[in-house]
Amino acid sequence: MVTAQPIAAVETTPAWFTDHMLFHYHRCRRRLYLDSYGDAALKDPPSDYFVKLREDSAEHRQAMLAQFAPLSQPIYEKFDWQAGANEVWRMMQAGVETIYRGVLIAEGPGNIKYRSEPDVLVKHSGNSWLGDWYYVPYNVKLGKKPKPEYQLVAAFNAYVLAEVQGVWPETAWLLLKEKQYAVSLERYVPKLQAALDDCLDLHNGILTHAEPPEVFISRSRCDMCPWLSHCYETAKATNHLSLLPGVTKTRYPTLVEMGITTVEALAKSQPTRLAYELAVEEFITEKMVFQAQANWTGSAIAQLHQNTFPLTPNHIPTTEIDLYFDIEAAPDKDLIYLHGVLVVNHTTQEETFHALVAETPEQEEAAWFSFLALVDSYANAPIYHFCPYEAQTVKRLGELYGNQGVDIEQLLDRFIDIHKHIVDSVALPVESYALKHLARWMGFEWRDEDANGAQSICWYDDWLRTGDRTYLNTILRYNEDDCKATYRVKDWLVNFAQEFWV
Ligand code: SF4
């Protein structure tokens, strides 16, 4: 239950609007509201992967901040922000060269105060209320790219700093994973103003409303959000259209304008009209309607084109031996630590799983060569995988380490992306076409219910740190299940296609 108490109604104590809030607002307007007024008991606990990212981020921050040493840190009682701001003002007046996490406060609308804590304030020459110097804000971010939310927060830092020192810095800096980036304040300050209005307008801002913005589940954005279970329940209770694959955040408002707010209404829509209103090609809206029909009826629907099923037996062959391939990777280490291959012999009915694992990062090359040797020993077997990542990685590793005499182009010709064939030919009553959702709908269960790619990365870290083989074995079991799930999806698709192949 969300308890709403708009910030603007708070009279006696200062209410803050912070860089942290702005960051989350940019990702999701509803998140800003829930973070401010939601019942914290409804939040999900942080996942191991989230904790790992936080730790990686802290490590990166430490490394990046070393260039500013010696850094001066304001001392004040925790959460006494005004005392912190007073101390930082004193340090700025004294002309301290670099200030770590300096609290800056400025007036906002109504009773609201803006509070900003850039990672570092660096002293520069030039005029300001302080004298012949002023400060420029720097923020450290783990990402490689200057994401819009980073830039918006940097503009906010610059704005609050300008209010404090009486002059704008010429830029705000982002210290990213591989480069230093100057944020264009000319470009981002107008965006900041629009964002602040949207959040804080005293009559119509997100934080002055009694209700949160409408839920919209978008896996890429919601996956790491602590409100996911709560929002998912809300979406599920209303069978919200965002749970339908293909209904994106940009398409949704047009559907609502067209009066299409239920799965049933979308299932009965005309793809031609939808394509016109959404300004997309008709094959996209045809898919959306097929998808709605699948979810509405709870059954699989063939995506026939001119009464023809798009797949032939050649697309998904079953030979005497099939291979099912799945990779585990740690992007933070730029490392492939496992090639899992399930060999299915249809004649003997045997299934054999091969785990070609890099037990240390240095063994990546050896694991790659073992993989090549294995797949080369089944020279004619199709290699099924799920999504393009496996094929892309094989190409990349071939370029990086060489091919041990295996023709990589010929090898890749044997690769079959079963995910692509599923989404091109069938609509299923699922919320996502991720392997987990599909295979579960087809009756497959993973032995470790909570296992996933992100968790596998954490287990690999745990294995490296502790040497406890339980972690490694859990990864292998999870990877084997992914291979088996891929097999299940392929098998299901072959069975489903039979009636169109007679
Ligand atoms: S779960 Fe998604 S919709 Fe809900 S607050 Fe988080 S990002 Fe927003």
Q: Phi/psi at 89 (nearest 5 deg)?
A: -60, -40
Evaluate: CB of 30 within 6 angstroms of ligand 1. yes
Q: Whose CA is nearest to atom 5 of ligand 1?
A: 31
Look up residue 251 and give its amino acid.
R
Q: Whose CA is nearest to atom 7 of ligand 1?
A: 222
Evaluate: CB of 185 within 6 angstroms of ligand 1. no
Domain annotation covers residue 119 = yes
Domain annotation covers residue 416 = yes
Evaluate: CB of 492 within 6 angstroms of ligand 1. no
Strand runs labelled E in 15-164: 15-18, 98-100, 104-107, 112-116, 120-128, 131-140
60, 131: one domain: yes
245, 138: one domain: no
- pLDDT tier for residue 15 given thresholds of 50, 70 and 90: confident
pLDDT (average), residues 173-182: 93
199, 280: one domain: no
277, 350: one domain: no
197, 255: one domain: no
292, 329: one domain: no
Q: Which of 24, 44, 222 to mutate to test the pocket of ligand 1 (most atoms within 8 A of CB)?
A: 222
Q: What is the spatial distance between Cα 270 and Cα 253, in angstroms, rounded to a whole number?
A: 17
Closest by Cα among 118, 130, 127 to 91: 130
Are 226 and 218 spatial neighbours (Cβ–Cβ below 8 Å)?
no
Evaluate: CB of 231 within 6 angstroms of ligand 1. yes
Evaluate: CB of 25 within 6 angstroms of ligand 1. no
Atom from ligand 1 closest to the CA of residue 218: 2
Rounded distance from Cα 6 to ligand 1 centre (Å): 19
Evaluate: CB of 206 within 6 angstroms of ligand 1. no
CATH of the domain at 175: 3.90.320
151, 35: one domain: yes
Evaluate: CB of 221 within 6 angstroms of ligand 1. yes
293, 398: one domain: no
CATH of the domain at 289: 1.10.150.20
246, 355: one domain: no
Domain range enclosing 347: 321-501
13, 98: one domain: yes
Please give the model's pTM, rounded to 2 decimal places.
Answer: 0.87
Domain annotation covers residue 343 = yes
* Sheet (strand 172-175) strand order: 98-100, 120-128, 131-140, 172-175, 180-183
Q: Which of 155, 185, 208 is the last residue of a domain?
A: 208
Are 230 and 30 spatial neighbours (Cβ–Cβ below 8 Å)?
no
Atom from ligand 1 closest to the CA of residue 225: 6
pLDDT (average), residues 442-447: 97
Length of the chain, please? 502
What mean pLDDT value characterizes the chain? 94
260, 204: one domain: no
In order, the DSSP letters of 424-451 are: HHEE-S-S--SHHHHHHHTT---SSTT-
Q: Which of 224, 225, 252 to mutate to test the pocket of ligand 1 (most atoms within 8 A of CB)?
A: 225
Q: 3-state class of 31 per DSSP?
A: helix
29, 160: one domain: yes
Domain annotation covers residue 303 = no
Evaluate: CB of 28 within 6 angstroms of ligand 1. yes
Rounded distance from Cα 201 to ligand 1 centre (Å): 22
**How far, CA to CA in Å, does 366 sit from each of 361, 393, 465?**
10, 15, 21
Residue-wise pLDDT for 55-64, tens only, equals 999 999 999 9
According to the model, what pLDDT value does residue 6 have? 41
According to the model, what pLDDT value does residue 204 have? 83
Domain annotation covers residue 233 = no
According to the model, what pLDDT value does residue 13 have? 34
Q: Which of 31, 36, 42, 247 to mutate to test the pocket of ligand 1 (most atoms within 8 A of CB)?
A: 31
According to the model, what pLDDT value does residue 349 have? 95
Give the number of domains in the chain.
Answer: 3
Closest by Cα among 183, 177, 149, 144 to 64: 177
Residue-wise pLDDT for 330-363, tens only, equals 998 999 999 999 999 999 999 999 999 999 999 9
Rounded distance from Cα 217 to ligand 1 centre (Å): 7
pLDDT higher for 112 or 479? 479
pLDDT (average), residues 359-377: 98
Q: Which residue has the tokens 């209320």?
A: 129
